[in-house]
Amino acid sequence: MRQLHVFFGVFLLALALTGCGANAPEAREQQQGPLVEVVEVRPNGGVGAVLASGIVGYKREADLAFNAPGVIAFVRVDSGDRVRRGQTLAALRRTSVGSNSDEAALARANAERDLTRTERLHAEGFVSDARLEDARLAVERARDSSALTAPADGIILRRLAEPAQSVGAGAPILAFGETGSGIVIRAPVSSGTVARLRVGDLVAVRVRELGGEPRPGRVARIGAQGDRGTGAFEIEISVPNTQDLHSGMVATAEIAARGASAGAETALLAPTLSLLDARADQGVVFVVDTQGVAQRRSVRTAGVTQDGVIVIEGLAAGERVISSGAAYVRDGQTVRIAGGR
């Protein structure tokens, strides 16, 4: 019996050792860390083109509204309709002129009489433009109905209200684009990128939905202040060939930047996918040392080119950064490098 117990003890021990051996490769793999790809950072051979993404829109777009509350009587246009300057687009029945019709008529008569007098005095130079505008506004407010007209030749971008709908003063009724103002692309760029741009820089604009064929453009305006939330600056790109372009489309712009940013002489080029937590001209990469340990590193950038991200601070030429798999890496973790490099 004692020999039988010894036999079963040895058998169970063998099974346990076999199980541990089966799990050993998996355990070793977990200890070795995630599999990543690395790329060696190299000097930037030139300033290169800057890539940006923005929204197509008319140079001048605005929401049209009534200046008094009321109930919409009619809306004669819809999204996509082209209109001419002075064309009646919608009408409103006022709800703020008073319930007594006699009092409302008297108020209108007084306002019109005051306007006539103010116009005469304005022509003689006795009252200001602001006073004349106030008199005209008083007449408009005293009327029991109001018309919304097109301020210029343009297109209706969106219809935002319907007949019989009650609206307040200033509530948007129609979104309007002035066709004569031209079409532009507004794109955010980092502070490092904006330092390299100049008004007049040539741009190749592409819209994927239209086949992606490049059409020429130029940098028409560069924002003077960065966004307080993101730190990005808005640039405006004019596009003379507006065929098939519609407000709201997404376009990519390849800008032939002529200016140079600080540190351009020592700028490095890193893979675009290596940059994490990008915000304005700041970001993070993982640098892998000779022992295969990944270290989180803050960097400063100066834009994105076709070849990668321009890094002007935080990296040295020859260092290896993770180009694939960085999302699964922790700071200070040992990683496995694809290809054994």
pLDDT for 232-254, tens place per residue? 899 999 998 888 999 999 999 98
Give percent of the chain above pLDDT 90.
37
- The arithmetic mean of pLDDT across residues 59-85, rounded, is 93
Q: Element (H or E) spanning 20, and its range? A: helix 2-32
- The arithmetic mean of pLDDT across residues 281-304, rounded, is 88
What residues contact residue 121 under an 8 Å CB cut-off, 6+ apart?
A: 127
pLDDT of residue 4: 45
What residues contact residue 238 under an 8 Å CB cut-off, 6+ apart?
A: 182, 184, 217, 218, 220
- The arithmetic mean of pLDDT across residues 6-25, rounded, is 49
Whether the predicted pLDDT of 66 surpasses 50: yes
Band (22; pLDDT cuts 50, 70, 90): very low
Cβ(252)–Cβ(39) below 8 Å: no
- The arithmetic mean of pLDDT across residues 18-26, rounded, is 49
- The arithmetic mean of pLDDT across residues 119-133, rounded, is 87
Whether the predicted pLDDT of 261 surpasses 60: no
DSSP-assigned states of every residue in 160-207? ---TT-EE-TT-EEEEEEEGGG-EEEEEEE-HHHHTT--TT-EEEEE-
Which amino acid is it at 121? Answer: L
Band (101; pLDDT cuts 50, 70, 90): low
Band (3; pLDDT cuts 50, 70, 90): low
Q: Report how far residue 267's alpha carbon sits from residue 263's, in angstroms, rounded to the nearest whole number.
A: 6
Structural domains in the chain?
Answer: 35-46+264-340 (2.40.420.20), 51-58+182-255 (2.40.30.170), 64-179 (2.40.50.100)
Band (27; pLDDT cuts 50, 70, 90): very low
pLDDT of residue 152: 95
pLDDT of residue 29: 44
Q: Is 126 exposed, middle or buried (0-12, 13-18, 19+ CB in 10 A)?
A: exposed
pTM of the complete model:
0.58
